[in-house]
Chains A and B, each alone.
Chain A
Amino acid sequence: MDKKIDQEQVRKVARLSRLELTEAEVEEFTGQLGAILEYVEKMNELNTDGVEPLAHCLAVSNVFREDIVEESLGTERALANAPQQDGEFFRVPKILDGGSGA
């Protein structure tokens, strides 16, 4: 059976997710992820001709909340579990080139 995923793909996905993996981990996860994909592959055995793709697994739509302000945590509680803080801010490693911006 051909491999579902190779080590290079695992390294790439790890990089995209800002995860640092050891060589041993890359090998381990390649095997595990491959097994998962193989398992999911079983779905392909089903005949899905004429079946509309689902946008969501629940047959529910239009769940809204009204635009009402509720109480927030507040700065002290929000920062309580932060690994590092700097006054009222979360403290994180410097971001290059301001790279963010949603």
Chain B
Amino acid sequence: MGGPVEHKVIVGLEIHVQLCTRSKMFCGCAVEFGAEPNSRVCPVCLGMPGVLPVMNRQAFEYAVLAALALNCEIARFTKWDRKGYYYPDLPKNYQISQYDMPLSANGFIEIPVGGGGTKRIRIIRAHLEEDAGKNVHSTGGFSQVDLNRTGTPLLEIVTEPDINSGAEAKALAVELQRIVRYLGVSEGDMQKGHMRFEPNINLIVTRDGTEYRTPIVEIKNLNSFRALERGIDYEEQRQLDEFLETGQVMESGNKTTRGWDDERQMTVLQREKEEAHDYRYFPEPDLVPVELAEGRLNEIASRLCELPISRQVRYVKEFGLSEYDAGVLTGERATAEFFDRAVESGGEAKRVCNLLTQTGLKIANERGCGIGDLGFSPKGVAELAAMVEAGDVSATASAQILEAMVETGKEPRVLAEELSLLQKSDAGELEAVVEQVLAENRQAVEDVTAGGKKSKKAMGFLLGQVMQKTRGQANPKVVSQILAAKLGGG
């Protein structure tokens, strides 16, 4: 024993993403969060005998689109299966899912890992299935069940165990959220349970040249990025401690399930019946298979767009934006597309970026809307950026102008004039002001020309005087140049 111990955490994720169809997967009931309990149900989703489920075309196409974005191979023939499920939140006693012929497999997702780099996480499969209802726990020996969610379309995504930290799992979750929102296949709203995660976690522990694998733990139903990251971090430490204490290693059948206790910030062992994983899949006789013709697949594929991660990398490489700014701009498709259009209209990328991230998005967040709903156009922002670039307005003034564009819908140049924010860049006009300031401030002029310590400070003072005389409307760059020319360097 003894000897230095090294370990590596190995994580595979099972993710459920709720697709944003209007109606459920196999019936016409509305998918609606927060509706009166058990009001959005019908004989199909209540699992009454003699009913026939019919596949929602939109759900299928959303699933294919997401699978394409996850670089999966799309099956040209796919079918439905019943998975045994004996809980009251799915009253049919089975869940309609996909077993041996999922609609897609063998994909990958690129996740950002800092320093501008990405890491590829392989995806085993992505398939469609229906959601269960909700158990509302109540006191006494009873639970309340709300079946409104029953039958909501879910995309289940299963990754290879290529994830090696809680932070990577979180990065994947955030990236996936961006992707599904970009594609418009899910709202990806965590508060509404649109994305749920079940990580499978164990460690490879190396001691005295021998590798040991700890028993696999699955954490059930994590529904926030933070819980996902912390749950994995917690398990990493717990499993290491447990291994050092007991030496227990992975064997077939010693996988356990744990829940995340958010209050105590720890995982808790869940009691499970031994046969809980005996799902007894069999083909769903009530639903016919789907054959996806080449033309249809191409039509769906044409709805793909440039994905957030490649956009983010492009913004850094092509425009020299910081990784942080590129991340903010690509957070939502509408923002990224607005930015792209503004740059295409001639806006200098960094200036446009500053206007959007520092002012535009702030206003959009306050108003709870998108950047495109604020009433200014990409062209308007490009024009404003060009005005800053040309020194017609200061960066500070440009924020004020953008705010005014939201309020009034007017063009930036018109507003700059109305608000007297135009900077004077006309050298002849400014020269006269500079002459006057120099004449009035003999001491400062002497300090500058004497050089040395005081020179810089005196120069700043003179610049300030010019700005004051022009009520802040002089272009400081131009004033500096004039001052430097007149005083010989500075």
Contact = CB atoms under 8 A, between A and B. Distances in A.
Interface of A: 12, 15-18, 55-58, 60-75, 78-79, 84, 86-102
A86 to B, nearest CB: 5
A68 to B, nearest CB: 6
B106 to A, nearest CB: 20
B132 A101 contact: yes
B41 A72 contact: yes
Contacts of A75: 36-39
B101 to A, nearest CB: 7
B259 interface: yes
Interface string B258-296: 010000000000111001101010010101111100000
B409 to A, nearest CB: 36
B interface majority secondary structure: loop
Interface in B290-308: 290-291
Interface of B: 16, 21-23, 27-30, 36-43, 46, 54-60, 77, 79, 84-90, 93, 95, 101, 129-132, 135-138, 140-147, 154, 196, 220-221, 259, 270-272, 275-276, 278, 280, 283, 285, 287-291
Contact of B136 (A17, A55, A71, A89): A89
A88 B54 CA distance: 27
Nearest to B149: A102
A94 B132 CA distance: 16
A95 B280 contact: no
Contacts of A88: 36-39, 146
B220 A64 contact: no
Contacts of A95: 87-88, 135, 143
B143 A94 contact: yes
Given A78-B38, A88-B38, A90-B144, 19 more contacts: A16-B86, A56-B288, A60-B288, A61-B289, A62-B288, A65-B54, A65-B57, A66-B57, A67-B22, A67-B23, A68-B28, A70-B28, A72-B29, A92-B143, A94-B142, A96-B271, A98-B137, A99-B87, A99-B276
A29 to B, nearest CB: 17
Nearest to B60: A64
